[in-house]
Amino acid sequence: MLVTVHGSGQGQVLYDVRFPNAVHHEAEISVTFADLPARPLELRMSRSSPGRYALHEFAKNVYAVRAVGAGGEALRVTRPNPYQWDVPEHGDTVRVSYTLFADRAGGTYSQVDETHAHFNIPATFMWARGLGDREIRVAFHPPEGSGWQVATQLMPTDDPMTYTAPNLYYFLDSPTELSAFSMRQWTIASGDTVRMAVHHAGTEEEVDRFVEWTKRVVQQEIAVFGEPPDFDGGTYTFIADYLPYVSGDGMEHRNSTILSSTQSLGGAGRGLLGTVSHEFFHAWNVERIRPRSLEPFDFERANMSGELWFAEGFTSYYTQLLIRRAGLTTDADYARTLGGGLSFVTNAAGRRYFSPVEMSMQAPFVDAATAVDPNNRGNTFISYYTWGSVIGLNLDLTLRSRFEKSLDGFMRSVWVRFGKTEIPYTIDDLQQTLARFTGDDDFAEDFFARFIRGREVPDYAALLANAGFLLRPAQPDAAWMGTMNLQYRDGSARLAGMPPEGSPLYEAGVSRGDRILSMDGQVLENASTLRQILGAHRPGDRVEVMFEQRGRNKTVMMLLAPHPQLEVVLYEDAGMTVTPEMTAFRAAWTEAATNGV
Ligand SMILES: [Zn+2]
């Protein structure tokens, strides 16, 4: 690495950001490169963003690109591909300027208007290939009278509108919000500061209440790992946008996170804590406990990882559990959230095709990916968030019932070996850590073979019974034809997607795009007609279905199935006895850690 003299500007990359047309969602951005080597300057817009796995063509919102030399003379710019601008001949210094259009605030994109400039860095800033080690300095120039401040994990300088990053990699990981936000901050056990910047239209009291809840969740998360991460610059920043014109999202970064929702703090109440809990957990799991497959993150192409069942899935397992441990929900609430995930994973046809590792590898097609051609993902894909989360449940309850250990202890082992040290891990590393943690190689090998590399689902009812949680069919007597998005129009119901594989509709040969003209002799006017027909039948009954498929009318007899939906309820709420053993097991699992961390 080239040693550069900091502070003199030599070798530094200098960005300058202005907002002459904020009302129409434009930012004027320039970047100056000095001490350039004598080869063509290759300027890129990123195609991916940290924490996202699909490709995003950020270059499409960049225009009016110009390059000038040290004396202001115009330089020739060529376009070798859609994401790149080359300056073939230049001197020591090049200044590039462009206009950015941005009107989608969330974890992936940017938004500029008169209320804020919300920047996801890869969606915003052009960078130069081969200069990634250089220090970056960015100066923001908010509109006159806007009252904007800056919330970011970038490093502060003496000027409140100027920030630095040690290199391009850190810069691209540092989302930045400029607005008249409310700010709260507090100190955690390590002495580091946690800040929460909230840009919203509500009251200061709502912010205070939300920050109090957040503190309780943060404390429970620290208790899982035994210590907070050592945040760069001694600070972690929650950047929240709760406004009707943003897009709901949550995106983790090394020392910060973006939280966005169209809901208000007043309206959503504790509903907005899920992303707080999830994203802060990522400060350990994925930001520092890092899969080798994502190191280093490639900003020019899709990144594939077979570990997302752990990075996202185990994080999802803890999302609701830690809100429960923070005392902000009840065991009954927690049981309800478990039911949804277990029902989905247990019933999903996708288990016939791919393991959790293989599901993780499909992230480039599902993680905020867009396409116009339809797919059969409903039958072939199970989110690694959901599947990973029930694997976390499986492992936690197994460790507790069989080893008198817990997933918290396993996570701490992973943290010590791979997180604190920042040694990227592989799936084999996780298996070895589990073997060492339990002292049982066979158990670890069997668990990974069946549930991680394989596609098995354990006996969740038996696992949950340890805690007096009951897994059961939610509607055992209800007749079911396949959960379907139906579009009702002109006295028919059109299948908007693929029917679930193996469902009565699927078996009857009714498929995507077909229009159901009548069922059981009745025209399907709307959802309530359908409910009525199904309500009048029992699983095992046959009903006549007339439908139109690719211009031909067909009639079939459809065999109705029992509704497969599962739910989790507490034993006491199902009129069953909770033993003292169950009470103790449950308390150790869902109640606040008392280790005083
Ligand atoms: Zn996540």
pLDDT at site 574:
98
Cis, peptide link before residue 562, omega less than 30° from 0 = no
546's enclosing H/E stretch is: strand 542-549
Give 250 Cα–ligand 1 centroid separation in angstroms: 7
DSSP secondary structure code for residue 384 in this structure? H
User: So what's the pLDDT on residue 62?
Assistant: 98
Ligand 1 centroid – CA 324 distance (Å) = 19
Residue 167, classed as helix, strand or coil, is coil
User: What is the CA(113)–ligand 1 centre distance, in A?
Assistant: 28
**281 CA from centroid of ligand 1 (Å):** 9
> For the residues 429-447, what does the mean pLDDT come to?
98
Distance 286 CA to ligand 1 centre (A): 8
Spatial distance between the Cα atoms of 245 and 237, rounded to a whole number of angstroms: 22
CA 363 → CA 46, 73, 306, 357, distances in Å? 18, 45, 9, 11
pLDDT tens string 162-203: 999 999 999 999 999 999 999 999 999 999 999 999 999 999
Which of these ranges, 19-33, 357-371, 420-434, 533-547, has the smallest mean pLDDT? 357-371
CA of 59 to the centre of ligand 1 (A): 25
d(CA 12, CA 167): 9
- Tell me the CA–centroid distance for residue 314 and ligand 1, in Å: 9
CA–centroid distance, residue 275 to ligand 1 (Å) = 8
- The SS3 of residue 576 is coil
Q: What is the model's pTM?
A: 0.95
Residue 578 Cα to ligand 1 midpoint, Å, equals: 34
Q: What is the mean pLDDT of residues 435-458?
A: 98
Q: Give the pLDDT band (50/70/90) at residue 597.
A: very low
What would the mean pLDDT of 56-65 be, rounded to a whole number? Answer: 97
Tell how far the Cα of 259 is from the centroid of ligand 1, in angstroms: 11
Q: 127 C-alpha vs ligand 1 centroid, how far in Å?
A: 26
Q: What is the reported pLDDT for 187? A: 98
Please give the structure tokens belonging to residue 215. Answer: 């503190």
Confidence tier at 1 by pLDDT (50, 70, 90): very low
CA of 387 from ligand 1 middle (Å) equals 13
**Structural fold of domain 1-180:** Immunoglobulin-like (2.60.40)
pLDDT surpasses 50 at 335: yes
C-alpha 236/C-alpha 153 separation (Å) is: 7
Quick check: 589 pLDDT over 70?
Answer: yes
Span from the CA of 287 to the centroid of ligand 1 (angstroms): 10
As a whole number of angstroms, the distance between CA 393 and CA 321 comes to 10
Predicted local confidence at residue 592, as pLDDT:
87
CA of 540 to the centre of ligand 1 (A): 41
- The answer to whether domain 181-273 has CATH 3.30.2010.30 is yes
In 267-298, which positions are buried (b, 16+ CB within 10 angstroms) versus exposed (e)? ebeeebbbbbbbbbbbbbbbbbbbbebbeebe
CA distances from 439 to 252, 312, 431, 432, 589 (A): 33, 26, 12, 10, 22
Give the HSE-up count for residue 297: Cα atoms under 13 Å, Cβ half-sphere.
Answer: 23
Burial class (CB in 10 A: 0-12, 13-18, 19+), 540: exposed
Q: How far is the CA of 107 from the centre of ligand 1 (A)?
A: 11
Rounded Cα gap, residues 253 and 78, in angstroms: 33
Rama region for 61: left / alpha / beta (φ>0; ψ in -120 to 50; rest): alpha
Task: Provide the residue type at 467 as one letter.
Answer: A
Ligand 1 center to 271 CA (angstroms): 17
Task: Report which of residues 595 and 82 the model is more confident about.
Answer: 82
Whole-number average pLDDT of the chain: 95
| Closest among 593, 570, 569 to 582, alpha carbons compared | 570
CA 309 – ligand 1 centroid, Å? 10
Q: Residue 41's pLDDT is what?
A: 98
Which is the CATH superfamily of the domain at 479-562? Answer: PDZ domain (2.30.42.10)
Q: Looking at the predicted structure, is the pLDDT value of residue 258 above 70? A: yes
Q: Do domains 1-180 and 181-273 have the same CATH topology?
A: no
Mean pLDDT across the stretch 466-476? 97
| Residue 175 CA to ligand 1 centre (angstroms) | 16
Give the Å distance between the CA of 322 and the centre of ligand 1: 15
The answer on pLDDT for 236 being more than 70 is yes
- Rounded distance from Cα 108 to ligand 1 centre (Å): 13
pLDDT score, position 139? 98
Residues 6+ apart with CB under 8 A from 465: 582
Beta pairing class for 136-141 and 13-18? parallel
pLDDT at 8 over 60: no
Q: In angstroms, what is the span from residue 274 Cα to ligand 1's centroid?
A: 11
Between CA 286 and CA 314 the distance in angstroms is 10
Number of Cβ atoms within 10 Å of the Cβ of 496: 12
| Residue 594: per-residue pLDDT | 56
Determine the distance separating the centroid of ligand 1 and the alpha carbon of 334, expressed in angstroms: 19
Class of residue 187 by CB neighbours under 10 A (exposed 0-12, middle 13-18, buried 19+): exposed
Distance 301 CA to ligand 1 centre (A): 20
Helix (H, G, I), strand (E, B) or coil at 470: strand
29 CA distance to ligand 1 centroid (A)? 30
What pLDDT is recorded for position 126? 98
d(CA 116, ligand 1 centre) in Å: 25
Q: Find the 252 Cα to ligand 1 centroid distance in Å.
A: 7
Confidence (pLDDT) at 596? 39
Cα–Cα distance for residue pair 336/331, rounded to 1 Å? 9
5 Cα to the center of ligand 1, angstroms? 38
d(CA 334, CA 325): 10
Structure tokens at 127: 């960078």
Which among 534, 524, 531 has a CA at the least distance from the CA of 493? 524
Distance 546 CA to ligand 1 centre (A): 44
For the stretch 201-217, pLDDT in tens is 999 999 999 999 999 99
Q: Where do the domains of the chain lie?
A: 1-180, 181-273, 309-468+574-590, 479-562
Q: Determine the 3-state secondary structure of 155 from DSSP.
A: strand
Separation CA 17–CA 156 (nearest Å)? 16
Interval between CA 30 and ligand 1 midpoint (Å) = 32
Asked whether residue 7 carries a pLDDT value surpassing 50, the answer given is: no
Query: Ligand 1 mean position to 496 CA, how many Å?
Result: 29
Please tell me the distance between residue 375's alpha carbon and the centre of ligand 1 in angstroms: 24
Tell me how far the alpha carbon of residue 289 lies from the centroid of ligand 1, in angstroms. 13
d(CA 483, CA 597) in angstroms, rounded, equals 45
pLDDT digits (tens, 9 = 90+) for 274-296: 999 999 999 999 999 999 999 99
pLDDT tens, position by position, 311-324? 999 999 999 999 99
Q: Residue 10: pLDDT band by 50, 70, 90 thresholds?
A: low
State in Å, rounded, how far the first CA of the chain is from the last one.
Answer: 40
Q: Place domain 309-468+574-590 in its CATH homologous superfamily.
A: Neutral Protease Domain 2 (1.10.390.10)
Cα–ligand 1 centroid distance for 256 (angstroms): 13
Distance (Å) from CA 164 to ligand 1 centroid: 26
- Nearest 5°: CA angle at 86, between 80 and 89? 130
Please state, in angstroms and rounded to a whole number, the distance separating the CA atoms of residues 338 and 198. 30
d(CA 34, CA 253): 29
